[in-house]
Amino acid sequence: MPNTARQLHAQAETLREEGKILEALQTISQALLRYEVEADIAGFAEALCSQFLIYNHLYQQTKFQPYLECARAAAEASVRIAKKLTDKSGLIIPLFNLAKALEILEDLPAAIENYQQAAQINQKTVLAKHDQNLLDFDIKLHLELCRLENGDKTALEKIEKTIEKLEANKNKNSFHINVLISGVYLKLTSLLKKQNLTQAKKYFKLATDLINSDGRLILRKKQLQALHLE
């Protein structure tokens, strides 16, 4: 039975990945209350990021606009709170999630700006530790996908090169890397299906093969089933 805020937070993340959305929402609310008791402001901001992911998932499932407004509010609140922290690395995830919300709301220039800010702060962490973390790949891929959607044709080559680097690191964290890469393939399918159906079919097949090869990708399987090429 989880007792600390961090334990509740981790449980909420697991529940979300398993597709147990109601339980995830209830558990992240408990984590927020526990973070307040523990006076952990950084953790509170991070939990709001998890709340963003849950509301965003609900919006993607239902297209019920109020869920998207809740997601954006959680992301904006986490950024405001994290800006008051001494450790600026606490801003990385809030900025990253706010960029995602802005991208969904089709404010692509603002989304790109927030992705860039998150990438810049995270890059300082990468250089300090001499290790390119998974978050660094995640932010860069989202940034280039957003640039591609905004009309930058050079972004596709950068995305493919980043995926090659990720594949080389697969032994370290296969599940989270598969989550990331499959998500990129699904997004590319969606972005390219009206512009280049041949390319879209290529990424759809890559997504299908990867998702079917890893039974842990429960949410990705649902997203794949909901994606129509034509």
Q: What is the CATH number of the domain that holds 60?
A: 1.25.40.10
**What pLDDT, on a 0 to 100 scale, did the predictor assign at position 131?**
55
Q: Is 60 exceeded by the pLDDT of residue 27?
A: yes
Q: Is 70 exceeded by the pLDDT of residue 207?
A: yes
pLDDT interval class at 26 (50, 70, 90): very high
pLDDT interval class at 212 (50, 70, 90): very high
Q: What is the pLDDT of residues 62-102, one digit of tens each?
A: 999 999 999 999 999 999 999 999 988 889 989 999 999 99
**What pLDDT, on a 0 to 100 scale, did the predictor assign at position 127?**
59
**Burial bucket for residue 128 (CB in 10 Å: 0-12, 13-18, 19+):** exposed
Residue 115 domain-assigned (yes or no): no
Residue 156 domain-assigned (yes or no): no
d(CA 220, CA 230): 19
**What pLDDT, on a 0 to 100 scale, did the predictor assign at position 129?**
59
**What pLDDT, on a 0 to 100 scale, did the predictor assign at position 167?**
87
Residue 214 domain-assigned (yes or no): no
pLDDT mean over 168-173: 74
| Residue-number span of the structural domain to which 94 is assigned | 1-108
Residue 90 domain-assigned (yes or no): yes
**What pLDDT, on a 0 to 100 scale, did the predictor assign at position 130?**
52
Q: Which amino acid is at 148?
A: L
* Domain count within the chain: 1
- 10 Å Cβ neighbour count for 84? 9
Residue 224 domain-assigned (yes or no): no
d(CA 26, CA 21): 9
pLDDT interval class at 172 (50, 70, 90): low
Question: Hey, is 2 helix, strand or coil?
Answer: coil
pLDDT mean over 34-61: 93
Residue 167 in contact with residue 182, Cβ under 8 Å? no
Residue 207 domain-assigned (yes or no): no
pLDDT interval class at 164 (50, 70, 90): very high
Average pLDDT, rounded, for the chain: 91
**What pLDDT, on a 0 to 100 scale, did the predictor assign at position 174?**
87
- Residue 57 token pair: 């998932």
pLDDT interval class at 183 (50, 70, 90): very high
Residue 128 domain-assigned (yes or no): no
Q: Is 90 exceeded by the pLDDT of residue 114?
A: yes
pLDDT interval class at 34 (50, 70, 90): very high
Q: Please name the residue that has the structure tokens 């512009």.
A: 195
**What pLDDT, on a 0 to 100 scale, did the predictor assign at position 88?**
86
Residue 189 domain-assigned (yes or no): no
